[in-house]
Amino acid sequence: MNVIGLTGGSGSGKTTVLNLLRDRGAAAIDCDRLYDSLLQTSEALRADLVKTFGQVFLPDGSLDRKTLSETVFSDPKQLLKLNAIVYYHVGIAVREELAAAKKSGKKLAVIDAVNLIESGLGELCDTTVAVLAPLDTRIARIMARDGIDRAQAEKRIAAQQTDETFTARAKQTLINDGSEQTLCENALSLLAEYLN
């Protein structure tokens, strides 16, 4: 089974590429969605978050994302702590999903993760692709997707790696500066050797 890793900053278009490959039969692993799922189902993850950051869950059991975001995106040391917890728990879940996909006969799996390389998940991939997009486009997408203001979106982007870092760490680069159709066409061309 071939494994493709997608990385790049929030709002760059990774999910569009992930969905394209899912539609072509790939096992698609969206690490953001996997993390969200684990927040509901993993007592170990929840316990690690509370132990490290205090009561970060609301009375209804959901994560208080605003409070946690304000803590970690304004303090690099706290962000490192959060990342270590998330990398550990999500990493286990990704490996389980890859094993299940391989067992079911899938020929291709795709992992979508902002921190693909830092988390160690890039080592599981046959190739890694940095998906990049213009800054203003990313900000607008994040604001629309997450219902936050421009300042919050900019803070989130500032806490992530630069485009140059994503490009340097990934094996390939996909520039998303046109239409969604163009992005999909370019992705299929770039990854053609893994899609047969």
The DSSP secondary structure of the chain, one letter per residue, reads -EEEEEE--TTSSHHHHHHHHHHTT-EEEEHHHHHHHHHHH-HHHHHHHHHHHS--B-TTS-B-HHHHHHHHTT-HHHHHHHHHHHHHHHHHHHHHHHHHHHHTT-SEEEEE-TTTTTTTGGGG-SEEEEEE--HHHHHHHHHHHHT--HHHHHHHHHTSPPHHHHHHHSSEEEE--S-HHHHHHHHHHHTGGG--
Q: In the predicted model, what is the mean pLDDT of residues 105-123?
A: 96
Which of 42-56, 63-77, 95-109, 112-126 is the least confident region?
Answer: 63-77
Q: Is the pLDDT of residue 19 over 90?
A: yes
pLDDT grade, residue 168 (50/70/90)?
very high
Q: Is the pLDDT of residue 175 over 90?
A: yes
Q: Give dist(CA 12, CA 141) in Å, integer.
A: 8
Q: Give the closest residue to 17 by CA, choosing from 131, 126, 118.
A: 131
pLDDT at 76: 87
pLDDT at 59: 94
Burial class (CB in 10 A: 0-12, 13-18, 19+), 133: buried
Rounded to 5 degrees, φ, ψ at 4 are: -110, 135
pLDDT grade, residue 29 (50/70/90)?
very high
Of 94 and 10, the structure prediction assigns the larger pLDDT to 94
pLDDT at 70: 86
pLDDT at 146: 87
Q: What pairing do the DSSP bridges indicate for beta strands 127-132 and 108-112?
A: unpaired
pLDDT at 137: 92
CATH superfamily of domain region 2-194: P-loop containing nucleotide triphosphate hydrolases (3.40.50.300)
pLDDT grade, residue 106 (50/70/90)?
very high
pLDDT at 155: 85
Q: Is the pLDDT of residue 37 over 80?
A: yes
Q: Is the pLDDT of residue 47 over 80?
A: yes
Q: In the predicted model, what is the mean pLDDT of residues 146-169?
A: 90
Q: What is the pTM of this model?
A: 0.90
CB atoms within 10 A of CB 5: 25
Q: Is the pLDDT of residue 196 over 90?
A: no
